[in-house]
């Protein structure tokens, strides 16, 4: 009563894999999938991990992104709104079934709430599941198969108003067909202002180059896989989904200082008025080294660790240099592509 029930049904999922860049890849896939099978996508909270805290933290979707622009593409609703309104009628506690491809472990169920971030994510809205549904052999590639029809036949919205996935109904890295959906992802006013104010107040007038240095210990370890993995994390954005442009290289994953300096010099030649380099990093910003090498420029970082503001500022640089293997870089690249802004990647193409 008084609740607007959408006859097409809903998709819910937990962004339970990886950190922000991974979750953003998955989000675009889930959005494309929701459109493909014509169900409203419930915008999940982002899952974050804070140093020293055992449980993940859930951040409402619209803290970082606007809802409105997404509606231009497809029907979406914030998870909080969905749980407060529609769910009361169409998804009461006794009807909450979790969806997964096959059973997780030996459990015979999706085990959708076991472990972190699985439990904390659903607990944010006090969601418990009464049973599991295994959707094998259905999948999410709505572009190259009749799978969308199969989803609607097997799970008609009249009988299954809500499909709640234990993990994102999407592939990683993001499918080529879904990359363009990034244009509907617009930073919230909060992030927008922080980024714009910083650019206006803390960067000198003139052009600036934005660079992403992914170099923390987890990355050192990730790059150790390079010799054995022709495709690694987001490397398809450079080397192709099937390594068509060659196997991912050590240098592209972890560029040397020389590669970094040379690349910046090369990019600078394309501009007459570069005044600064904006450095984003998860670990070592190389501020001193860069200042020593580029004496005429200001080398600047954001004064605190704020990944989303870093992303937004990188998105607005005059040229962006990113890391082929990182989904954090991939986010910036897609955002810039949507606006026609130029980007390049460390050590790609290989010399």
What are the backbone dihedrals phi and psi of residue 121, each rounded to the nearest 5 degrees, phi first?
A: -60, -55
Using CA atoms, how far residue 263 sits from 173, 176, 254, in Å, is 26, 27, 14
x/- string (CB under 6 A) for ligand GFB, residues 307-346? x--x---------------xxx------------------
- Closest CB to ligand GFB among residues 317, 326: 326
Q: How far apart are CA 39 and CA 35, in angstroms?
A: 6
Identify the residue among 212, 263, 333, 334 touching ligand GFB (CB under 6 A): 212
- Interacting stretch for ligand GFB, rule CB under 6 A, among 69-77, 100-108, 275-283, 290-298? 275-283
Among 346, 329, 27, CA closest to 172: 27
Per-residue binding string, ligand GFB, 219-248, x by CB under 6 A, is ---x----------xx--------------
Give me the residue whose beta carbon is nearest to ligand GFB: 21
Region near ligand GFB per CB under 6 A, out of 17-25, 77-85, 125-133, 188-196: 17-25
CB of 4 to ligand GFB, least distance (A): 35
We find the least distance from the C-beta atom of residue 142 to ligand GFB, in angstroms, to be 24
- Among the listed residues 328, 65, 342, 90, the one whose alpha carbon sits nearest the alpha carbon of residue 214: 328
How far is residue 318 from each of residues 194, 200, 272, 278, 349, measured CA to CA in Å?
18, 14, 12, 10, 20
Beta bridge partners of 164: 12, 98
Beta bridge partners of 78: 43
Please report which helix (H) or strand (E) contains residue 220, including its range: helix 217-223
From the list 351, 349, 339, the residue with the least C-alpha distance to 238 is: 349
Site for ligand GFB in 21-40 (CB under 6 A): 21-22
Angle of CA points 229, 106, 23, to nearest 5°: 45
Q: Near ligand GFB by CB under 6 A, which window of 98-106, 116-124, 211-219, 270-278?
A: 211-219
Nearest to ligand GFB of 161, 315 (CB atom): 315
Minimum Å gap between C-beta 22 and ligand GFB is: 4
Q: Which of these segments, 108-116, 121-129, 214-222, 224-232, binds ligand GFB (CB under 6 A)?
A: 214-222
Single out the residue of 306, 314, 134, 298 nearest to residue 210, CA to CA: 314
Contact between 281 and ligand GFB per CB under 6 A: yes
The nearer residue to ligand GFB, 161 or 236, going by C-beta atoms, is 236
Q: How far is the CB of 169 from ligand GFB (least distance, A)?
A: 18
Beta strands 46-48 and 76-78, pairing class: unpaired
Q: Which residues bind ligand GFB (CB under 6 A)?
A: 18-22, 212, 214, 218, 222, 233-234, 280-282, 305-307, 310, 326-328
């Amino acid at each position: 009563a008084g609740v607007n029930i959408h006859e097409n049904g809903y998709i819910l999922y937990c962004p339970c894999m990886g950190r922000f860049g991974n979750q953003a890849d998955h989000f675009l896939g889930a959005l494309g999938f929701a459109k493909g099978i014509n169900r409203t996508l419930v915008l999940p909270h982002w899952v974050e991990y804070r140093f020293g805290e055992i449980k993940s933290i859930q951040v409402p979707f619209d803290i970082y992104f606007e809802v409105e622009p997404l509606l231009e593409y497809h029907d979406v609703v914030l998870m909080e709104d969905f749980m407060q309104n529609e769910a009361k009628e169409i998804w009461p506690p006794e009807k909450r079934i979790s969806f997964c491809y096959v059973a997780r472990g030996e459990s015979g169920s999706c085990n959708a709430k076991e472990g972190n971030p699985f439990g904390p994510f659903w607990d944010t809205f006090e969601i418990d599941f009464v049973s599991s549904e295994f959707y094998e052999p259905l999948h999410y590639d709505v572009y190259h198969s009749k799978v969308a029809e199969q989803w609607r036949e097997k799970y008609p919205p009249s009988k299954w108003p809500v499909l709640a996935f234990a993990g994102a109904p999407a592939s990683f890295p993001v499918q080529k067909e879904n990359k363009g959906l990034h244009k509907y992802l617009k930073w919230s006013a909060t992030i927008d202002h922080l980024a714009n104010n910083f650019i206006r107040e803390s960067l000198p007038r003139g052009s600036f180059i934005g660079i992403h240095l992914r170099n923390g210990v987890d990355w050192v370890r990730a790059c150790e896989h390079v010799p054995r993995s022709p495709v690694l994390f987001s490397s398809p954005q450079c080397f192709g989904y099937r390594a068509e442009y060659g196997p991912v290289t050590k240098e592209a994953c972890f560029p040397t200082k020389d590669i970094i300096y040379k690349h910046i010099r090369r990019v600078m030649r394309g501009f007459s008025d570069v005044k600064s380099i904006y450095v984003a990093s998860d670990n070592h910003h190389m501020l001193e080294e860069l200042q020593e090498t580029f004496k005429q420029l200001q080398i600047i970082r954001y004064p605190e660790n704020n990944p989303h503001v870093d992303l937004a500022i990188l998105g607005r640089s005059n040229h962006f240099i990113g890391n082929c293997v990182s989904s954090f870089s991939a986010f910036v690249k897609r955002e810039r592509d949507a606006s026609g802004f130029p980007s390049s990647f460390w050590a790609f193409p290989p010399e």
